[in-house]
């Protein structure tokens, strides 16, 4: 497997994602971003077969979401994912959600590679570490921000 960049994840907003205000509920932005993380895992060889064979997976340990605009029923959303950074046991991802060409939400996540049998972090296998290293890191300007009042 050779991956030089990550593919976009796409989803159409279903009725059950719509809240009492007639827009996509905040929880479903997070769900869509979670599905985009799963798509990244699949692209990097850490899909279901990997989890079953290795007993390891990525766990999200921190996330920061920004809601920039609303989304409505039936709209197609595109999530562009980039690798902002990585280490022997961690993968730092940035997701950008678009409605058409408009950026409507972002999510930054820190994930750790975890051995599920021991519930402790473990290094990525060499073949996965090489796939991750083969993708040029891209850190959006909004990455790393903190909430401030």
Per-residue pLDDT of the chain (149 residues; tens, 9 = 90+): 556 789 999 999 999 999 999 999 999 999 999 999 999 999 999 999 999 999 999 999 999 999 999 999 999 999 999 999 999 999 999 999 999 999 999 999 999 999 999 999 999 999 999 999 999 899 999 999 888 88
d(CA 130, CA 58) in angstroms, rounded, equals 16
d(CA 119, CA 55): 10
Report d(CA 39, CA 81) in Å as an integer.
9
Q: Is residue 149 part of a domain?
A: no
Q: Give the chain's radius of gyration (CA, Å).
A: 16
Note whether residue 2 is domain-resident: no
Q: How many domains does the chain divide into?
A: 1
Q: Is residue 3 part of a domain?
A: no
Taking the C-alpha atoms of residue 116 and residue 22, their distance in angstroms, rounded to an integer, is: 39
**CATH number of the domain encompassing residue 108:** 3.10.129.10
How many angstroms separate the CA atoms of 146 and 43, rounded? 29
Q: Which residues form the domain of 84?
A: 9-133
């Amino acid at each position: 497997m050779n991956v030089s960049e990550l593919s976009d994840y796409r989803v159409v907003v279903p009725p059950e994602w719509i809240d009492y205000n007639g827009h996509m509920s905040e929880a479903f932005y997070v769900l869509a971003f979670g599905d985009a993380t799963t798509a990244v895992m699949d692209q990097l060889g850490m899909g279901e077969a990997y989890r079953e064979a290795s007993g390891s997976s990525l766990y999200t340990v921190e996330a920061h979401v920004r809601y920039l605009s609303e989304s409505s029923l039936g709209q197609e959303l595109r999530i562009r994912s980039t690798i902002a950074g990585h280490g022997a046991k961690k993968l730092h991802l940035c997701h950008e959600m678009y409605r058409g060409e408009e950026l409507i939400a972002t999510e930054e996540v820190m994930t750790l590679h975890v051995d599920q049998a021991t519930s402790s972090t473990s290094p990525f296998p060499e073949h996965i570490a090489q796939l991750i290293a083969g993708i040029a890191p891209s850190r959006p300007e909004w990455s790393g921000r903190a909430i401030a009042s």
